[in-house]
Structure 1
Amino acid sequence: MASSLLPGCLTALLAATSSPAAAQEVVIDRSADGRISIRAVRVNEPIEIDGELTEAVYRDIQPISDFIQQIPDEGAPASERTEVWVFFDDDNLYVTAKNYESVPEVDWVANEMRRDTSQLRTNDSFSVMLDTYLDRRNGVAFLVSPIGGFSDFAIANEGDRGRGVNFDWNIVWDSRVGRFDGGWTVEMEIPFRSLRYEPGEEQLWGIQFRRIIRRLNEASYLTELPISAALGNSLVAGMWRISEAGDLEELQVPPRNFNLEIKPYGLGTLTTNRRATPPVDNEAEQQYGVDVKFGITNNLTADFTYNTDFAQVEVDERQVNLTRFNLFFPEKRDFFLEGRGNFDFVQPRNLDIPTMFFSRRIGLEQGQIVPIDAGARLTGKIGNVDVGALNINTDGSDLPGIESTSFSVLRLKQDVFGRSTVGVMLTDRSNSLAGDGSNQLYGIDGSFDFLDDYSIDTYFAKTESPGLPDQDQSYMGNFDYNGDRYGLTAGYLVVEKNFNPEIGFKRRNNFKQMQSSARFSPRPASIDWIRRFNFQALTQSYWSADLDELETRQHQLIFNTEFESSDQFQVSISDDFEMLTRPFAIARGVTLQPGDYDFTNYEVFYRLGAQRRFSGRFSMRFGDFWSGENTAFGYDFGRIEISPQLSIEPGYLINQVKLPEGEFRTELGRARVTYTFSPRMYFSGLVQYDSNASSFSTNFRFRWEWAPGSELFLVYSDDRDTSPFGDPRSFELRNRGWAIKFNRLFQI
């Protein structure tokens, strides 16, 4: 009996040891503290970035797999298999993935190719995050979709609930996708010279992988993450939980060489402005400038800019303002977007906190573009301190009423404890808008995150401005518990009447805000088509900081249903109080008088999931409004997929307001059309209509990244005075511009 079993056992043993799986080298393990660790593998021959995965190293090295769901089924195995390899050579880090699919390609969600666009995050994708400083809180990430769309972004302070994620961070890297019988592949090549890291040849980094399968609304990761890190049902937010990432070991990086990037540009414009004094008609101009990036150390980078131009930037999307307060328009200029994470000041979303440094204050004043002569920026990390320093000089000599000004900002932020920071900020504007002299801001802040879902934020800031003595401070304290099933916030904010951050932004002035909210968010296991219910109650009030009088109060109840399809349905009721101390012109010919106003309104919306070929939000709001009524209908966040290359993003909002003081109607419409030739070449057009401004405007842009980091832009924009409901024949040109811009990146 024994002799008859022996040959069979030997045969089985030989078969096992000669199989490819048994011969493969294992590179995944667990470190002493229980964290998943991956050993980077050096390759002696370059990996060809073609998406084919034909090199011998793929047969020799066992892939990393067994991803774990974060959402929808926390802790469960991923629905589809993903295999990952990590290699390096003297110049590059390579991350490769084989993404299995059990459905045909027609069922994949892949409808966007443009680099860095937000729609990529609603597609199927594979991503890698690298914590190159191993500080367990900051990192950089790279995303690729099945049709080759790609994105790179920087994560600061574990994303800071989204505020610390900079999708405008761009470096030189490459990727390619391919197909195999049963899924798709991706190969990434990330040059070491494009990354920042600690000195030394032997490196230990943090690493995380993510696979998003949109048809299942599923996100799975290399490591197990709590579902609360999804911040609701976000499929992308888990990547920001850097403290839960794995380790990348035995990585060897090249010695730091002289790292210099020079990017000169040439620009030609043709401008018409009928509203200028005197009017301008087809005025041609040309100019030149240069941006320089210099790696001072592995951790610090200096940027210099001369004769900076932003002609390629898309125009702002118009907004309707039916309040007494300022509207916020986001920064879109690349130079200011690239290093913004180093300048962030604590700013919880539930409070109306001023933005201490708002880069749109530089080069834009009184609705005019102020030329930027030159500037310098220093960003990076020294030990456990994030550093951001900036100086920009503008030239207002040719603009009436605008002075040439120097803008300076210093931001230092130190890591403390596990996931917390404390910091300081100083800003200086050489010519104050308040009077003769300069304007300064001094601020200190702290953000303390503990356990998985608790945070406490605080700051104190003070400004100095000519003619504004005393009452020039702002301070805040805020508590936030953001668990998956329960949530709770409580905050207190003060902005005194002479607090004047002239390189910042504040929506309103001279107020004390008190805010609190409670949320209950069950995930009903017995209803398979509903992912989550949200019940939320919120109250906030604003009191004048100097007189301690109630100015604004809002009580709000919200019920939201999130479906497994990623659609959402929401109903809310809001009870509002407003006190006016002076007349408020809410529309042309309609003025509200001082007094107390108490009104209740209702809102309902249905939002189609962004992964659908036709998506967007349909909304209706109705009820009391100031002294009368307002009925509003809208369709926004819209997108219609014609093909993976061609999409239309429409939106329209109508407000019909009936007040005793007068009736008026506002209409705001926009449509963006985008055709993507390749991930590095696209054409987009934005058409907008604003009835308040009697404006019909267009902005068309062609962008081609003809070499890594080198671009060609063709831009056309115009604005016309039109009132189709008042005078349909009116279509008078206000301004028009053409621009062609060419730049070239030289890496030395």
Structure 2
Amino acid sequence: MAQINRNLVNVILILIFILQNNANSQTKTGKDDIRIIYARKTDEEIKIDGNLFEKSWEKVSPQADFIQLEPHKGKLATEKTEVKVLYNEENLYIGFKCYTSSPSDIIASITRRDQLLGSGHQSRKSDDNVVIIIDTFNDMRNGYCFAINPLGTQLDMKIANDGRSRDTNWDSGWKAKAQKHKWGWSAEFSIPFKIMRFNISKNMVWGINFGRFISKKLETDWWSGRMDEDFRISQGGILMGLDILKKEKDLHLIPYSTSRQEKITSKNIQGRWKEEIGLDIEYNPISNLTSNFTINPDFASVEGDREQINLTRFELQFPEKRRFFLEGSELFRNRIRVFYSRRIGNILYGGKATGKFKKYNIAMINVQAEKVQDDPYTDNNESFPEANISVFRAQRDILKSSTIGLLAVNKQWKGGYNRVVSLDATLNLPYHLYGTAQFVGSWPGNLTKGSAFFLRLERRSNIYDYHLRYTNLGEEFRERVNPVGFIRDDDRHELDSAVRYKWWIKGKKLDYIDYRSNYNIYWSHKKILRSYDIWERLRFYFVNKLSIETMYDYEFKLFEKRFFNNKKSIKIGYNTEEWTSKEIEFQWGKNFDRDYKLYSASAKFKPSRKLSIEYSLKRLIFNPDPNNNTTFINILICNYQFNPDLFIRLFVQNNSSIDRYYIYSIFGYRFRPPYSAIYVVFTNDRFCSLHKTIETNRILFLKFSYSLDL
């Protein structure tokens, strides 16, 4: 134990030394290198076809000289990229010309919307693409992102916290096309002003940046040339020349009707048809405020959760997929997760609003959740009375690109309530330093036992990341917050540190080496050691597209007794920097006094331009296995994209440990994107309950929605 403590102290001292040493070796980026691009007003009709043939484009001088972020930071891009900006009263037009010395090296496979950059914080770029980032308030914190690949596949997302929070669930009506040429490829964007929030004025000044990813070379280029990391709002350039004196009020009334046939054996529902209607409203009354309302929303078209293997004793977190909760969710994300919308079941009605008023970001949600019935086929009691949930978020800009914030959550039902208040700070400091802090209190009950806080200091760029964090979770914090939030555990004094570094070799055989490690230890409030964890990973990516990755993890856990777990793995992949990739992995070790082996394999194929197929297999074997946890998990995903707004998707999975087979299929046609659409969905979920009975949930669902744009 003493050796573990000494090792932890050594790690902390090394991290502090690295932070200080790197800080001393850096210089601040001055304001004199900020690039400026001017938008030219046009009265000519711009046809969005990706060709840039209109005369207005010829009258604009292009901006070029993109700078590499990776692999050779600060050097000129290896391929020439030009960008131009036009506008009229309704739209912002942006055109790209992406020159390529070898057009046959252009890589484009993805046809599904919002998949170009992967998901999560560590975005995975795979296709060639161009990116636009627009900071309409020029606050160097938040913005909009639009991207397209050479196939014309689009991505849009909101960016918050100076690029550290990205929400690809935002979906709005804008146009873009791409065309391939002998010299490379071009792209043309039309972005309506009405889909963005901003303050109306003459001679507006917006933040802006343009990016290009060249997949064959693993090269990321940015126009501003000052980037330390992808999507950093504060390190972009400036857009000038916009003169907009009015903005259209954006009102969408979206009525919808649904019809479904259900067979649910646990509820004794046998094939009856059920029809419902509902209404969604989106209204932007002023240029810097967006509001949404929903009555009787239907979430039956939402795809089911993927099966996961859980080698811990804590609850698994699943992503939110319901659109009402997705859009704008980036404002409610904090390290201590006090609002987790998956805790909310079906809702009767709800509303939300987001806006920017001078230095304040404001967001509000209020929903009425219907009564939840207990499932008699599980051991847990899931029943809960009808409840009202309110969430309020306020965030104030401070310093250059930092914020302080308040988040309050209230869940009220007949006979009880849960209330949580969170205060947070995000500090973007010089020398790539980044500090965050959060304090949370919860009621009812003793505030000390129901409170938590953390302090975190990080230094990060595109090639390295070091952090040191202290967290304190009260003894009753999990029980208090989990009715509205997501807390895996409590009763902790926790220290956590991590190191990541990426060496760009770009040699004859090796492209890069990526090293990551994490060290964690925590005690109870009674000063009893509960856990420590040492995790190391090393990855090599070769020029021939082969990758090799090794991982080692050693941990101590205290539950009803002391457990010493460990796991080792080796993973081999091919072409993993592109979408069409293959991987195999073998992991083995000890898990809570059981030996285990985990075999994994995955592959992504593109049999044709429109058809994509993903398959993954996991085989988990425990020895001994008294609880029959040994399992096979298979997941198959097929997507046929006729065009960006017409698709068929199939999602199939099985889990042998619970004898589960799940099928989800959807036909979707957005005839007036993004809101007017037809969906036909079929789901079949067959599984063995805890009472060893076979249950079947089968639903055929039809939905028609039409947007009335007023």
TM-score (norm 1): 0.84
Question: Which residue number in structure 1 is paired with residue 89 of structure 2?
Answer: 90
Q: Which amino acid aligns with 2:457?
A: F
Question: Which residue number in structure 2 is paired with residue 116 of structure 1?
Answer: 114
* Aligned residues of 1:720 and 1:731 also touching (Cα < 8 A): no
* Aligned residues of 1:416 and 1:422 also touching (Cα < 8 A): yes
Distance of 1:665 and 1:49 partners within structure 2: 54
Question: Which residue number in structure 2 is paired with residue 5 of structure 1?
Answer: none
* Aligned-residue identity in percent: 26
Q: Deviations over 1:365-415 (max 9, x none)?
A: xxxxx3x22111110211111111110012228879431110000011111
Question: Which residue number in structure 2 is paired with residue 289 of structure 1?
Answer: 278
Which of 226, 233, 252 aligns to 2:243? It is 252
- Determine whether 1:103 maps to 2:102: yes
- Determine whether 1:569 maps to 2:555: no
Indicate the SS of the match to 2:581: strand
Q: For this pair of structures, how many residues does the alignment match?
A: 662
- Determine whether 1:147 maps to 2:161: no
- Determine whether 1:402 maps to 2:380: no
* Aligned residues of 2:589 and 2:597 also touching (Cα < 8 A): yes
* Aligned residues of 1:217 and 1:566 also touching (Cα < 8 A): no
Question: Which residue number in structure 1 is paired with residue 79 of structure 2?
Answer: 80
* Aligned residues of 2:454 and 2:472 also touching (Cα < 8 A): yes
Question: Which residue number in structure 2 is paired with residue 319 of structure 1?
Answer: 308
Q: CA deviation at 1:210?
A: 0.9
Question: Which residue number in structure 2 is paired with residue 482 of structure 1?
Answer: 460
Q: CA deviation at 1:58?
A: 2.5
Q: Deviations over 1:283-340 (max 9, x none)?
A: 2111111111111321111211111111221111111223211000010011111111
Q: Which amino acid aligns with 1:513?
A: E
Indicate the SS of the match to 1:430: strand
Q: Which amino acid aligns with 2:418?
A: N
- Determine whether 1:667 maps to 2:658: no
Question: Which residue number in structure 2 is paired with residue 473 of structure 1?
Answer: 451
Question: Which residue number in structure 1 is paired with residue 351 of structure 2?
Answer: 376
- Determine whether 1:655 maps to 2:620: yes
Q: Which amino acid aligns with 2:473?
A: V
Question: Which residue number in structure 1 is paired with residue 503 of structure 2?
Answer: 522
* Aligned residues of 2:407 and 2:422 also touching (Cα < 8 A): yes
Q: CA deviation at 1:119?
A: 6.4
Indicate the SS of the match to 1:275: helix
* Aligned residues of 1:471 and 1:497 also touching (Cα < 8 A): yes
* Aligned residues of 2:127 and 2:579 also touching (Cα < 8 A): no
* Aligned residues of 2:135 and 2:207 also touching (Cα < 8 A): yes
Distance of 1:660 and 1:735 partners within structure 2: 29
Question: Which residue number in structure 2 is paired with residue 157 of structure 1?
Answer: 161
The 3 A distance-change label for structure 1 pair 684 and 378 is same
Which of 588, 600, 608 aligns to 1:634? It is 600
* Aligned residues of 2:567 and 2:589 also touching (Cα < 8 A): yes
Q: Deviations over 1:693-729 (max 9, x none)?
A: 2101100011111112211111100012379xxxxxx
Q: CA deviation at 1:683?
A: 0.9
The 3 A distance-change label for structure 1 pair 663 and 289 is closer
Q: Which amino acid aligns with 1:744?
A: Y
Distance of 1:660 and 1:54 partners within structure 2: 67
TM-score (norm 2): 0.89
The 3 A distance-change label for structure 1 pair 737 and 486 is closer
* Aligned residues of 1:469 and 1:498 also touching (Cα < 8 A): no
* Aligned residues of 1:114 and 1:678 also touching (Cα < 8 A): no
Distance of 1:630 and 1:170 partners within structure 2: 43
- Counterparts in 2 of 1:37-56, with a 5 A limit? 37-56=36-55
Which of 124, 138, 144 aligns to 2:142? It is 138
The 3 A distance-change label for structure 1 pair 531 and 181 is closer
Unaligned runs of 5+ in 2: 1-29, 119-124, 376-382
Question: Which residue number in structure 2 is paired with residue 506 of structure 1?
Answer: 487
The 3 A distance-change label for structure 1 pair 510 and 398 is closer
* Aligned residues of 2:71 and 2:504 also touching (Cα < 8 A): no
Distance of 1:243 and 1:168 partners within structure 2: 23
> Which has the higher mean CA deviation after the structures are superposed, 374-383 or 113-122?
113-122
Q: Which amino acid aligns with 2:110?
A: E
Q: CA deviation at 1:664?
A: 4.8
* Aligned residues of 2:646 and 2:668 also touching (Cα < 8 A): yes
The 3 A distance-change label for structure 1 pair 452 and 606 is farther
Indicate the SS of the match to 2:58: helix
Q: Which amino acid aligns with 2:435?
A: I
* Aligned residues of 2:249 and 2:286 also touching (Cα < 8 A): no
- Determine whether 1:340 maps to 2:320: no
Distance of 2:576 and 2:279 partners within structure 1: 39
Distance of 2:299 and 2:627 partners within structure 1: 42
Indicate the SS of the match to 1:165: strand
- Determine whether 1:179 maps to 2:175: no
* Aligned residues of 1:487 and 1:520 also touching (Cα < 8 A): yes
* Aligned residues of 1:431 and 1:439 also touching (Cα < 8 A): no
Q: Which amino acid aligns with 2:487?
A: K
The 3 A distance-change label for structure 1 pair 414 and 528 is farther
Q: CA deviation at 1:473?
A: 0.5
Q: Deviations over 1:513-558 (max 9, x none)?
A: 2212344543346x3433332344432123223x332222112232
Question: Which residue number in structure 2 is paired with residue 701 of structure 1?
Answer: 666
Distance of 1:45 and 1:559 partners within structure 2: 55
Q: Which amino acid aligns with 2:204?
A: Q
* Aligned residues of 2:110 and 2:116 also touching (Cα < 8 A): no
Unaligned runs of 5+ in 1: 1-30, 230-237, 348-353, 364-369, 582-594, 724-729
Distance of 1:397 and 1:654 partners within structure 2: 35
Q: Deviations over 1:223-269 (max 9, x none)?
A: 1134x51xxxxxxxx1x111111111011224134331111111111
- Determine whether 1:715 maps to 2:695: no
The 3 A distance-change label for structure 1 pair 96 and 316 is same
Which of 302, 306, 310 aligns to 2:291? It is 302
Q: CA deviation at 1:607?
A: 3.3
Which of 494, 512, 528 aligns to 1:532? It is 512
Distance of 1:32 and 1:469 partners within structure 2: 46
Distance of 2:144 and 2:463 partners within structure 1: 29
Question: Which residue number in structure 1 is paired with residue 698 of structure 2?
Answer: 736
Q: Which amino acid aligns with 1:672?
A: I
Q: CA deviation at 1:361?
A: 1.5
Distance of 1:63 and 1:611 partners within structure 2: 31
Q: Which has the larger radius of gyration?
A: 1
- Determine whether 1:355 maps to 2:337: yes
The 3 A distance-change label for structure 1 pair 288 and 150 is same
- Determine whether 1:689 maps to 2:665: no
Distance of 2:465 and 2:328 partners within structure 1: 32
Q: Which amino acid aligns with 2:466?
A: L
* Aligned residues of 2:547 and 2:576 also touching (Cα < 8 A): no
Q: CA deviation at 1:469?
A: 6.6
- Determine whether 1:167 maps to 2:146: no
* Aligned residues of 1:640 and 1:648 also touching (Cα < 8 A): yes
* Aligned residues of 1:111 and 1:643 also touching (Cα < 8 A): no
Question: Which residue number in structure 1 is paired with residue 529 of structure 2?
Answer: 550
Distance of 2:273 and 2:313 partners within structure 1: 40
- Determine whether 1:428 maps to 2:392: no
Question: Which residue number in structure 1 is paired with residue 68 of structure 2?
Answer: 69
Indicate the SS of the match to 2:658: coil
The 3 A distance-change label for structure 1 pair 439 and 708 is same
- Determine whether 1:392 maps to 2:367: yes
Distance of 1:113 and 1:573 partners within structure 2: 36
Indicate the SS of the match to 1:177: strand
Q: CA deviation at 1:118?
A: 4.5
Q: Which amino acid aligns with 1:216?
A: K
Question: Which residue number in structure 1 is paired with residue 432 of structure 2?
Answer: 453
